[in-house]
Structure 1
Amino acid sequence: MLLEIGNFYVKDVKFGEKTSFKDGVLFINKDEAIDFIAKDEHITDIDIEIAKPGEDIRIVPIKEAVEPRVRLDGKSLFPGVTGNLRRAGEGRIHALKGCSVMGVGMHWGSFGDGLVDMSGEGAKYSYYSNLINICLVIDTDEEFERYEQQKKNHAIRWACHYFAEYLGETVKSLEPEDLETFEFEGVTKRSDSVNELPSVVLVMQPQSQMEELGYNDLVYGWDMNKYLPSFMNPNEVLDGSIIGGSFMPCSSKWSTYDMQNFPIIKELYKEHGKTLNFLGVIMSNLNVSLEQKERAAIFVSNMARTLGADGAIVVEEGYGNPDADYVRCICALEEVGVKVVGISNECTGRDGKSQPLVVMDEGTTALVSTGNVSELIELPPAKKVIGELQALARDGLSGGWSGDEILGPSVREDGSIIMENNAMFCGDQVAGWATKIMREF
């Protein structure tokens, strides 16, 4: 299967008379864009704001981010979500690089929402401070979940996906600046020189814990709570077959943008045929009961062994309860002779003294940490807030609070904030964006 991604590098985004792309500038007719998004009857109010790197802007509560793209064959960008089901992983896409469509609550936040600072000390905590974020600031009539800590955020999230396609149309007929190609050969059809290299499989564990449908990541529009581990072509992931959910504490979640650009997949492609034989992706899941966790570990380990994997990279979206799936999967792979490197965040508490993973096992001999979700962060006021700052304290965002007997509220009267890393939008970047380094003292 051959997937081609033609890249257009966005240097600026401006409002203009016509939605178009020219000389590195994406122009958006704001009125027409709002009319397009407002077609969803559940959206009661909407504004569009643009946040650029280096600006003194704080964005919260963020629910989703999507890279604007378009398929040249006219098929849906996200099969089973924005259009009919189609086979993902082949064909040609045009992508607007360096920007995201970002879904932001006009007022109400939830447990899975996060924050991004576009400048200053806070900018270093999220990859998204490097992007030009086209913020869809939306309120909805979804009253059934307005005061719930957990929200499906359906209207806002779907608006991001549809609008990403809308913007992608601006480059459909243009010639890209460069072209990325991802050709995945059948695992039994490879040359002797490739087969002699160490064979590696990537095991992804997207979030699927919520038994009520609508909160979890979706694969081909299918709620992953009902999913069992399966072998997937890595191109399928890069081509929109999976979209992010709204359940996990925000620093540990994978947005749809992360899925579209999953850096670990791209790095494995770069090394394929040079230092390793990339066998593909085993797409697993994260469930609640021990039986479900064990069943998934059995599926994953048997698939990896059947594929002939010498090694595996295991990545989890989330922490806490999912740590049991993560560790059990690693150990099951090691038990059948597949050497594993695991990548995850850790939850060591604000003082850094707690057990980093809920479950620990001697079989986890090679783990990469992307940081402590409980790390306390203090940031000064921002000149401008997109969304509503009080949502951080009021609405149960996983890293914020309305009051603490020692620290006080997350949002102070002067607009400065104190919060846990938990609330940084996709801040742990298990997907591979992380700029964090380990220092030894």
Structure 2
Amino acid sequence: MKLEMGNFYVKDIVFGEKTSYENGILTVNKQEALDFVMEDEHITEADLHIVKPGDMVRLCPVKEAIEPRVKVDGRTLFPGITDNELTRCGEGRTHALKGCSVLVVGKHWGGFQDGLIDMGGEGAKYTYYSTLKNIVLVGDTDETFEQREQQKKNKALRWAGHKLAEYIGSAVKDMEPEEVETFELEPVTKRSADVNKLPGVVFVMQPQSQMEELGYNDMVYGWDMNKFLPSFMHPNEVLDGAVISGSFMPCSSKWSTYDFQNFPALKRLYAEHGKTVNFLGVIMSNLNVALEQKERAALFVAQMATSLGAEAAIVAEEGYGNPDADFIACIVALENEGIKTVGLTNECTGRDGMSQPLVTLDEKANAIVSCGNVSELIELPPMPVVLGELQALARDGLSGGWEGDEILGSSVKEDGSIIMENNAMFCGDQVVGWSVKTMKEF
């Protein structure tokens, strides 16, 4: 399977008369874009903003991030989501606007799965998205049944973001890209002797799929991953829109759709393929609730890795807590097959850093890359501009915010300063590979 990614590097974003791209400048016709968003009858209010690295702007509650792209042959960007027609991702030519994203922010209501981004100041270092030029869709919907619920599907706003990213990406559909990246892996059974001599490596992805009520979980080709069984996938499918982010996981642990589209760990394995490793592909697994389901998924993963001839594996977990059981079970099942396995995850060690890092542990899980402590306290000063509603951090049950604490008080102070757990930083732990965090030894 061969995917060509035609890249256009965005130097600046402005509003103007025509949605277009020229000489590194992405111009967006704001009214036309809003009219497109408002075609969804469930969107009751919407506005667009442009924010750039260093802007003293705070975004909250942030719900989703998507890279603007378009399929050159006219197929939909997210099959099963932006169009009900199912077509295969990972082949042909896709054009992408690099260095920017579409961010989706609630005008009012937030929840457990939503987070915060600071574009400038001390808070900017906590999330990759402060480094991007962002088109921010701030909106509200008629989904009143879940406004005051801690858990929100955020469907109308998330879908609006996916469609808007494709709408904006269409500006470069017929243009010649500045760079073409080619992602191609030979079929596993048809690789050269030189490649087959290298250690065979699989990348095991565990996207969030714990919610048994459909609509909250990550989706593959529009299929809710709670109903998914571990399956072998080509990495190109992941990078080309087959998987979208859900609306459940505590926000610092979440993988946005932008993360799936640009998954750094997958790209690094691609770069090493044929040099240091034989990259066999992706085993897409899931995160379950019942112990039996966790054990079954681990057996599937280990069987596939063994059948593919894997000598090594990397397991990446979206989340923490209950999913730790899936994560460790998968590592142990792979190690039991003689497959050397490394795990990528964050930790929940409490505000003081003294708690057990993962809910369950095993001596065979002896190679873990930590991406940070979800419970670490973060204090940030007031920000001159807030897009969305800052009070949502305290009021609406965001995973890292609270309305009242007997010692710390509310997460949102009267002057607009905040105290919160890292939990609420939008995609802040970056298990996918963006993380710039380092470890200290004491």
TM-score, length of structure 1 as denominator length: 1.00
* Residue aligning to 2:334: 333
The CA deviation at 1:387 is: 0.6
* Residue aligning to 1:392: 393
* Residue aligning to 2:407: 406
- Rounded to whole Å, the distance in 2 between the matches of 1:363 and 1:440 is 23
- Rounded to whole Å, the distance in 1 between the matches of 2:278 and 2:122 is 40
Q: Say whether residues 1:210 and 2:211 are aligned partners.
A: yes
The CA deviation at 1:24 is: 0.7
TM-score, length of structure 2 as denominator length: 0.99
- Rounded to whole Å, the distance in 1 between the matches of 2:185 and 2:89 is 13
Q: Say whether residues 1:229 and 2:204 are aligned partners.
A: no
Letter in 2 for 1:75: R
* Residue aligning to 2:383: 382
* Residue aligning to 2:240: 239
Q: What does 1:334-353 align with in structure 2 at a 5 Å threshold?
A: 334-353=335-354
* Residue aligning to 1:19: 19
The CA deviation at 1:184 is: 1.4
- Rounded to whole Å, the distance in 2 between the matches of 1:357 and 1:143 is 36
- Rounded to whole Å, the distance in 2 between the matches of 1:17 and 1:187 is 49
* Residue aligning to 2:321: 320
Q: Say whether residues 1:39 and 2:35 are aligned partners.
A: no
- Rounded to whole Å, the distance in 2 between the matches of 1:360 and 1:265 is 26
CA offset digits 1:335-371 (Å, max 9, x no partner):
0110000000000000000000000111101000000
Q: Say whether residues 1:72 and 2:72 are aligned partners.
A: yes
Q: Provide the alpha-carbon RMSD of the alignment.
A: 0.5
CA offset digits 1:10-49 (Å, max 9, x no partner):
1111110111111111111111111000000000001101
- Rounded to whole Å, the distance in 2 between the matches of 1:91 and 1:174 is 15
- Rounded to whole Å, the distance in 1 between the matches of 2:175 and 2:332 is 49
- Rounded to whole Å, the distance in 2 between the matches of 1:9 and 1:439 is 35
Q: What does 1:355-370 align with in structure 2 at a 5 Å threshold?
A: 355-370=356-371
Say which SS state the counterpart of residue 123 (structure 2) adopts: helix
* Residue aligning to 1:354: 355
Letter in 1 for 2:277: L
Say which SS state the counterpart of residue 188 (structure 1) adopts: helix
Which sections of structure 1, spanning at least 5 residues, go unmatched?
Answer: none
- Rounded to whole Å, the distance in 2 between the matches of 1:293 and 1:152 is 24
The CA deviation at 1:438 is: 1.3
- Rounded to whole Å, the distance in 2 between the matches of 1:396 and 1:404 is 13
Q: What does 1:123-134 align with in structure 2 at a 5 Å threshold?
A: 123-134=124-135
- Rounded to whole Å, the distance in 1 between the matches of 2:55 and 2:145 is 36
Say which SS state the counterpart of residue 399 (structure 2) adopts: coil
The CA deviation at 1:175 is: 1.0
Say which SS state the counterpart of residue 119 (structure 1) adopts: coil
- Rounded to whole Å, the distance in 2 between the matches of 1:9 and 1:385 is 27
The CA deviation at 1:227 is: 0.2
- Rounded to whole Å, the distance in 2 between the matches of 1:90 and 1:410 is 46
- Rounded to whole Å, the distance in 2 between the matches of 1:428 and 1:339 is 24
Q: Say whether residues 1:422 and 2:426 are aligned partners.
A: no
- Rounded to whole Å, the distance in 2 between the matches of 1:380 and 1:391 is 17
Letter in 1 for 2:77: L
CA offset digits 1:365-395 (Å, max 9, x no partner):
1000000000000000011001110000000
- Rounded to whole Å, the distance in 1 between the matches of 2:144 and 2:168 is 29
* Residue aligning to 2:168: 167
